[in-house]
């Protein structure tokens, strides 16, 4: 997928619920950049926007729970 966004509204709902179950934590810097903590890799954070994420899942399939959590939060 080359890191291109491919998320439907159903994906956002499904992956958002997964993020909730896993307790995905989001935080932002004073500049307004958002980051999400990895659920499976302790100490890893991913730069996340409403359109992209550094995580392997997004890079591979074009959707991820981090983006879904951010969209649902904002």
Crossing angle of the two packed helices 65-73 and 9-22, in degrees rounded to 10: 100
Q: Residue 67 falls within a domain, yes or no? A: yes
65 pLDDT higher than 80: yes
Q: Residue 22 falls within a domain, yes or no? A: yes
**Mean pLDDT estimate for the chain:** 93
Q: Residue 4 falls within a domain, yes or no? A: no
Per the confidence metrics, is the pTM higher than 0.85? yes
pLDDT at 73: 87
Q: Residue 1 falls within a domain, yes or no? A: no
Give the closest residue to 15 by CA, choosing from 72, 54, 74, 55.
Answer: 72
Q: How far apart are CA 63 and CA 12, in angstroms?
A: 9
The range of the structural domain enclosing residue 18 comes to 9-73
Q: How far apart are CA 13 and CA 8, in angstroms?
A: 9
pLDDT category of residue 1 using cuts at 50, 70 and 90: low
Q: Residue 2 falls within a domain, yes or no? A: no
Q: By the 8 A CB rule, do 19 and 69 touch?
A: yes
Instruction: Please state the domain count of the chain.
Output: 1
Q: Residue 49 falls within a domain, yes or no? A: yes
Q: Residue 18 falls within a domain, yes or no? A: yes
């Amino acid at each position: 997928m080359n890191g291109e966004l491919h998320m439907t509204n159903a994906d956002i709902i499904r992956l958002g619920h997964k993020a909730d179950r896993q307790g995905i934590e989001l935080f932002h810097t004073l500049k307004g950049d958002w980051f999400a903590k990895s659920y499976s890799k302790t100490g890893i954070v991913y730069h996340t926007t409403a359109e992209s994420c550094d995580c392997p899942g997004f890079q591979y399939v074009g959707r991820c729970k981090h983006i879904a959590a951010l969209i649902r939060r904002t």
